Amino acid sequence: MMIAGCSSESAVKLKRAQEHFDNSEYISVIRILETINPVKRGSRVNLLLGKAYAVQFEFEKADHVLKSAFEQFPSTKDSLIAAYLTMAKRFEKRKRVDLAIKAYLSLLGIESEYNIGNGFYVLGHHYYESNDLARAMQFFEKGIETISDPRILRKTKIELIDIYELVGKLKEAIEISANDPSTDIIFRRGKLSFQYAKSLFSAKEFDSALAYCESVIIINAPQTIIDDTYFLMGEIHASNNDYKNAIRCYKEVMKFDKFENNKLAAIAKKKIAVLTRFE
């Protein structure tokens, strides 16, 4: 007869094993529960055995036991998810990120849409360092929507921005940096906005290019490209035959040339001389 997922023999051993588990005697737990025939273990036995293996950092054995439990007793899904989440966080705390990664992946294998919070950064960072940018992007994008820890969220954004820049998704990189007050991300937003504005200008999308240039001026970062941004704005206005605003922007470039040795300012000065004839 089965009682709560255990045979009568299993129930006795489960009770003893639980007492050992509560006393942190995990090896004793394993010794007791491993004597039970796998087909007679039941979900509660497998769950406790899996937890005991996990505490001993024997993840492969824990994973095998828990997956077997899920196959036999699908209704235990919520308990198994909680077990994997607990072990992943324990592995992280003990600096066994390699095992935490495996635990998170097994959890997602049971419930692919489960919110693992900071775990999305752990997985994304792992694949980022492994140069698997597609999978890293997948986990970072989920993390952006679910991570609540400001420090981890910032790290997630920075690494996702890196990937977007590498694969040419500048617009997406700029979008996830929006409204973030951290200095490093503001710096990246300005740099990427300028890059994207240049590509839009080359594509003759002048209004959009100008909008991204203006965003660089508003955040005033990075300081090293403000003159370049004003120069690009001058080029955009000139291409739109808006010579008045083009001259205004070129003059802004010249303000950065305090020692009159800036090549960009020299070019701006020449352009002002030419455009003044058309005003």
- Fold for 200-279, please state it: 1.25.40
For residue 3, report the phi and psi dihedrals to the nearest 5 degrees: -125, 115
Structure tokens that stand for 23 in this block:
């006393």
| CA 270 – CA 248 distance, rounded (Å) | 13
pLDDT of residue 7: 64
Q: How far is CA 203 from CA 151, 190, 209, in A?
A: 37, 20, 9
What does the mean pLDDT of the chain come to? 94
Q: What percent of the chain has pLDDT over 90?
A: 89
Q: What is the DSSP string of 89-144?
A: HHHHHTT-HHHHHHHHHHHHHH-TT---TTHHHHHHHHHHHTT-HHHHHHHHHHHH
**How confident is the model over 95-105, as a mean pLDDT?**
98
Segment 84-100 shows an average pLDDT of: 97
Taking alpha carbons only, the member of 99, 81, 79 closest to residue 90 is 99
Report the CATH architecture of 1-91: Alpha Horseshoe (1.25)
Is the previous residue joined to 222 through a cis bond, with omega within 30 degrees of 0?
yes
Give yes or no for residue 133 having a pLDDT over 50. yes
pLDDT of 4 > 80? The answer is no
- In the chain, which ranges are continuous DSSP H helix? 8-22, 26-33, 42-55, 59-72, 77-93, 97-110, 119-129, 133-146, 150-166, 170-177, 183-202, 206-219, 226-239, 243-255, 263-275
Those residues whose C-beta lies under 8 Å from the C-beta of residue 69, and which sit 6 or more positions away, are 43, 46, 47, 50, 76, 80
Query: Cα–Cα distance between 150 and 65 in angstroms, integer?
Result: 36
More confident residue, 205 or 3: 205
CA 207 to chain centre: 31
Tell me the per-residue pLDDT of 179-231, one tens digit each, with 9 for 90 and over: 899 999 999 999 999 999 999 999 999 999 999 999 999 999 999 999 999 99
pLDDT at 57: 97
User: Boundaries of CATH 1.25.40.10 in the chain?
Assistant: 200-279
| Residue percentage of the chain with pLDDT more than 70 | 96
